[in-house]
Amino acid sequence: MAAIFSLVAASSFAEFHWFEQPIKMDASLSLLAVGDWGRKGTFNQSRVAEQMGRIGEELDIDFVISVGDNFYDTGLVDVYDKSFEQSFTNIYTAKSLQKQWYAVLGNHDYRGNAVAQLDPILREIDKRWLCMRSFMVHTDIAEFFFIDTTPFVKKYWKHPKKNHYDWRGVAPRKKYVSKVLKDLEMALSKSTSIWKVVIGHHTIRSVSEHGDTEELVDLLLPMLQEYGVDLYMNGHDHCLEHISSDDSPIEFLTTGGGSKAWRGIYNPNKVDTLRLFYDGQGFISLQLTKTDAKVVFYDVNGCILHSWNRTKGWHPYI
């Protein structure tokens, strides 16, 4: 069954790069997600990493997701930039974190050499690292759609002389964004997965510093709702948030607490239901089975701040 399923899937997503991620024998999976982290261990990055190691062990995680802003302040200089080891390899050293990492780019990554982070040479330095612009990870019970959200945001394209963004392979914006949306729509429309999770750096809903990202609310959210996406995970705001959509089953999860936090900005949103806003460092875990999803939010000491779960009943494809 699994083999046939992946064969069918493999031929269906020609536009997105696509990876098969094995899960546990009992058809469950667990993972951690963290964002906004690469500061050579400072601002409690190392403490968060240590707790990720402990919780990762407890949950026997299958992989890790990075929601972007991988290297501060301005991404990597090139593939030989020592920040890669100083902020990644030498920080996430726990045994349980020696798994595949799937990463997207954040706006700070675009301010350096964005192309360097995508280079397979980094995988020779640390084989856990896999960063691409937009791609998909397929498992037998869930599909993960990673979206490159930085080019969506119009303000980054203004004043190119003042602010450097590495738009190689991306410009012009309109064409790139419409291609990403078209590919995502194709992938979502063909997905028969029980759980659908979309990952991007920027917020769709947030009550902190950056608030909602208008371009994503306008262009991405309607598609996620149309195709029944269960979870949207992001960083960008350096805090932890759980917001439930009021008009669809989608849950918005902000996991931007990988290092510098405590921004002290809280702007309550008129739309949707806020379940958690924590202004400090931390990370989240996601555990999935065929029928159940569970999300847990942890602080810098690994203490549970909030948890949430959902059960799905009968599913036509299983």
| CA dist., res. 210 & res. 205, Å (int) | 9
Q: Which of 21, 44, 70, 254 touches ligand NAG (CB under 6 A)? A: 44
Minimal distance, residue 230 CB to ligand NAG, in Å: 15
- Is 90 within any annotated ligand binding site? no
Residue 201 in marked binding region: yes
Catalytic residue among 17, 210, 242, 315: 210
190 vs 294, beta carbon nearer ligand NAG: 294
Selected binder of ligand NAG within 175, 262, 271, 304 (CB under 6 A): 262
Cβ–Cβ < 8 Å for 142, 31: no
The interface mask with ligand NAG, positions 87-106, x = CB under 6 A, is: --------------------
Among the listed residues 289, 224, 268, 284, the one whose alpha carbon sits nearest the alpha carbon of residue 66: 284
Q: Which parts of 35-161 are beta strand (E)?
A: 63-66, 100-103, 129-131, 135-138, 142-147
Joined tokens for residue 234: 């992001």
Segment interacting with ligand NAG (CB under 6 A) among 1-9, 39-47, 65-73, 238-246: 39-47
The CB-of-47 to ligand NAG minimum distance in angstroms stands at 6
Residue 212 counted as an annotated binding residue? no
Nearest distance in Å: CB 43, ligand NAG: 5
Measured CA angle at 33 (ends 27, 38), to 5 deg:
145
Whether 69 has a binding-site annotation, put simply, is: yes
Confirm or reject binding of residue 309 to ligand NAG (CB under 6 A): yes
Please identify, among the stretches 5-13, 43-51, 57-65, 136-144, the one whose residues bind ligand NAG according to the rule CB under 6 A: 43-51
Instruction: Give whichever of 75 and 258 is closer to ligand NAG, judged by the CB atom.
Output: 258
Given CA atoms 123, 127, 130, 131 in this order, what sign does their dihedral have?
Answer: negative
Any binding-site annotation on 72?
A: yes
Helices (H) and strands (E) counted in the chain, each on its own, are: 9, 15
313 burial type by CB count under 10 A (0-12 exposed, 13-18 middle, 19+ buried) = exposed
Judged by beta carbon, residue 99 or residue 294, the one nearer ligand NAG is 294
Question: CA torsion 173→177→183→186, rounded to 10°?
Answer: -150
- Rounded distance, CA 76 to CA 135, Å? 21
Residue 247 marked in a binding site: no
Under the binding rule (CB under 6 A), the answer on residue 43 touching ligand NAG is yes
Does position 300 bind ligand NAG by CB under 6 A?
Answer: yes
Question: Does 298 show up as a binding residue in the annotation?
Answer: no
Size of the site for ligand NAG (CB under 6 A): 8
Listed residue (271, 200, 284) closest to 241, CA to CA: 284
Which residues in the chain belong to E strands, given as ranges? Answer: 17-20, 29-34, 63-66, 100-103, 129-131, 135-138, 142-147, 195-200, 231-234, 240-244, 251-255, 273-278, 282-288, 292-299, 304-311
210 belongs to the catalytic site = yes
Q: Which residues are annotated as a binding site?
A: 36, 69, 72, 107, 201, 236, 238
Q: Which residues are catalytic?
A: 210
- Interface residues with ligand NAG (CB under 6 A) are 43-44, 47, 262, 294, 300-301, 309
Q: Which residues are annotated as a binding site for Fe cation?
A: 36, 69, 72, 107, 201, 236, 238
